[in-house]
Amino acid sequence: MKKKTLRNLHRDLGYFYIGLIVSFAISGLMMNHRDSWHPEKYTTETKTIDVQLPEESALNEEFAKDLGKKLGIEDKFRRQRIKKGIFTISFERHDVEIDMKTGKGEIVAYNKTPIISQAMSLHKNTSDFWIYYSDIFALSLITIALTGTIMIKGGKFSWKNRGWKLAVAGVIFPLLFLFLFG
């Protein structure tokens, strides 16, 4: 391909995907910190509860669904778990946490944060259309990255003199991170 054609492809793909690149970057930042800050949702109500729990072996999905109904939660059940002595039930718009020793806990009702929750769902979406669109996006990012290597003509900042070194460093850094912390 001619250099001018590659430059045009680089420019046009960059323009076409700029909105998706920015929204993925922003929602990716939010996803990275979702355990300390919950950008996807905001609390609308918190209610203290006191529940008599059965033996741990009886704390299953069926029990969790029934307890949700008894607590007045008319919401889609997502999952239940026991972690560090806390029985947690997650619904679409409610979370229930109960201390297994005392039976004391709370129900937290929340709504999804407009725009932010939709942007973050881009990272979790598994519909066939979105998977194929994401594959095309990934291939386009590869194209943008590779065609970017020819943008600077000659000189000390060219791919040949400097760019390849930065690219190698850019590959080594995440690999080191994976080997050291993964």
The rounded mean pLDDT for the chain is: 88
Q: How many domains does the chain have?
A: 2
CB 96 within 8 A of CB 88: yes
Expressed as residue numbers, the domain containing 161 is 3-35+116-167
Who has greater pLDDT, 46 or 31?
Answer: 46
Predicted model pTM:
0.57
Residues 31 and 90 in one domain: no
52-97 residue pLDDT tens: 999 999 999 999 999 999 999 999 999 999 999 999 999 999 999 9
* 152 contacts: CB under 8 Å, gap ≥ 6: 158, 159, 163
Distance in angstroms (rounded) separating the CA atoms of residues 146 and 141: 9
Q: Beta strands of 77-145 (E only): which ranges?
A: 77-83, 86-91, 94-99, 104-112
Q: Is 174 a domain residue? A: no
Q: Is 142 a domain residue? A: yes
Q: Is 53 a domain residue? A: yes
pLDDT tier at 148, thresholds 50, 70, 90: confident
Closest CA to 19 of 29, 27, 31, 8: 27
Q: Is 179 a domain residue? A: no
Over range 152-163, report the average pLDDT.
Answer: 84
